[in-house]
Amino acid sequence: MVRRSVVVFLAVLTAVIGAGAPAAAHGGPRHVRGTETVPVYDYATAIRETVYVETPLDSDGDGVRDRIAADIVRPREATTRVPVVMEASPYYTCCGRGNESELKQYDANGNVALMPLYYDNYFVPRGYGFVGVDLSGTARSTGCEDVGGPAEVASAKAVVDWLNGRANGFTADGKKATASWTTGKVGMIGKSWDGSVANGVAATGVRGLETIVPIGAISSWYDYQRYHGLLRSEDYPYFLHSYVNGRPDAACAALVTKLRADSGEDTGDFTPYWAERDYRPAAGKVRASVFIAHGVNDKNVSTRQFGQWWDALAENDVPRKLWLYQAGHEDPFDVRRAEWVSTLHRWFDFYLQGLRNGIDREPRATLETAPGVWQDERDWPAKGARDRELPLGDGTLGAGAKGRGVTKTYTDESLREDALVANPTTVVPGRLAFVSAPLTAPLRISGDASVKLRIQVDKPTTALSARLVDYGSATRVDHFRSEGVVTLGTESCWGAASATDNACYLDTAEVTATTDHAVLTRGWKDAAHYKSLRFTTPLQPGTWYDVTIPLMHYDATLPAGHVLGLVLGQSDPQYTVTNDQNATVTVDAGRSSVTLPATGATVTAPVAAPAAITTTTLPGAAERRGEQAGPVVP
């Protein structure tokens, strides 16, 4: 797409970043003033070039090492070496980046004339290079896209190595290319799949990668394509490969066959295929600092992805920062634009330019606690959040629940979420609902909850689902509608321009709705994987089993007067491949509970029968009724 008027861009840019900056004193780089970089280099005349970087792998089996296209934009006038902001993506020519789905566009010489997003426009004038990398098997790169695997990670890592003189690079005509213009310090950034690549490269421990900024990103591809033994969609690895594939089908046919064979679709098991796509165990190798951003209502890349990664990084004392917001699968640029760009600028200045601006000493976590309400906190999960075990009773949840000797039975009905969580004090076939007494004070949930069930199942297995629900009226971000963000008719600009590439983007705003309940966090599990995700153990009728369902990481505060609910279901047509076994599950309530990371009010069960709770249909439910579980792209 061709971007909008440069005249509008210039007017807004002047207001946003000023008209320029003086040269640095004492012989320092021109782009540094005090403890920040400033825009002094001409973006319109920046050097634009493509280098094809050789990787150690031959993922398409053609006898030649893969070569990865790296499109570069860097300041022409810089007299000192500059660090690099880098985004590695499979989407640059197939699908687009950002809210406006921008694609790379090239000039007659094959050099990038329009680089998606604002990173190059904003940072190149401030003394950075920008590198947009086509992952293996996509766009102008050779090799094959193996969906989070060794070839994908190696393709981006090779570019970091080239920028540090450790890999070979070539121009289009085959001449050797070196990166003598850079310091070798690299910061990787990206949303969704792009941010997942940054996680994967950081997990290799590659030297020169100083920081990563994964936004709504994956840290375990198993957890993205599987829910604890349940398929999220059939033939998912192939779907993702084909969605971004830039090679002729025959070139990657062998790799596709291997993807299908190794991913264990017939069992849902965690196989060696998934182990090499799980970056979390390698958190101890990470040399880079990590700045994570994630929507707490992201139903595409679940919050478990950032939460498990965050915990692993914390265990290894990796420098880190976190932004959490109420939207779904969104970039913070489209949630809180000015503050995000400012924070990102300071983060890169600190870790790539070495400017001591104090961001490393600021609160580690920034959270949106209600629509448009933000607060900084020392760390995450919240200070004082401790695991509380809330027992189940006969339809009740919390301290004092009378569950001893109580069993509850339900048979699979494949309920959709709206029906599953509605009217929790009403008996609904296919689900069990448990509710607390109204809270006497606010309750903060911060971290990852889980549900422990003592069950009998009359089939060899069944799907199990669990949801924590906030029953109570509030104005909430409507993350079911456009992920919680609406695009406006105005625009703002975030960087400098060339004749073909400006940094003007349509403004956005959160979209809200007043609702009487909200699902907070979800979890799923195949019951036959109760011992391990690496193998199945068929269940025997009449035998009791302990099954734990992990829930997604979350942060929310329930006001006084609201009711906390737990709703159990089985097969789930909205989120998993429906595999209705028509199973009947018996739950021993006295030996079942919810473990909740929380601060604030004590969650107690109602003393008598719970007061009736009725709900209305959530906004957007009518549009969602046609949804079925199916492949989505990160």
Catalytic positions are 192, 298, 329
CA torsion, points 100, 101, 102, 103, in degrees to nearest 10? -170
Q: Which residues contact 623 (CB under 8 A, 6 or more apart)?
A: none
First to last CA, the chain: 22
Partners of 434 in the β-ladder: 566
Cβ within 8 Å of residue 137, ≥6 positions away? 59, 60, 143, 144, 145, 146, 151, 241, 244, 245, 246, 247, 252
Closest C-alpha among 579, 572, 549 to residue 461: 579
Instruction: Read off the amino acid at residue 575.
Output: Y
> Is-contact 120 98, C-beta < 8 A?
no
Cis check: omega of the bond before 619, within 30 degrees of 0: no
Q: Which amino acid is at 337?
A: R
φ/ψ (deg, to 5) at 547: -125, 130
**Residues 506 and 434: beta-carbon distance below 8 Å:** no
Instruction: Please tell me the number of Cα atoms within 13 Å of 325 on its side-chain side.
Output: 31
Q: Label residue 414 exposed, middle or buried (CB < 10 Å: 0-12, 13-18, 19+).
A: middle
What CA–CA distance (Å, rounded) separates 398 from 596?
10
E-state strands within 330-379: 365-370, 373-377
Containing H/E element for 491? strand 485-493
Which secondary-structure segment (H or E) carries 387?
Answer: strand 386-391
**Interatomic CA distance for residues 101 and 94, integer angstroms:** 10
DSSP per-residue codes, 418-476: HHHHSSTTS--TT-EEEEPPPPSS-EEEEEEEEEEEEEEESSS--EEEEEEEEEEEEEE
CA gap 485, 94 in Å, rounded: 24
Distance in angstroms (rounded) separating the CA atoms of residues 561 and 180 = 63
Question: Which residues does 427 contact at the CB level (< 8 Å), separation at least 6?
Answer: none
Burial class of residue 464, CB neighbours in 10 A (0-12, 13-18, 19+): buried
Q: What sign does the CA torsion over 296, 301, 304, 306 have?
A: negative
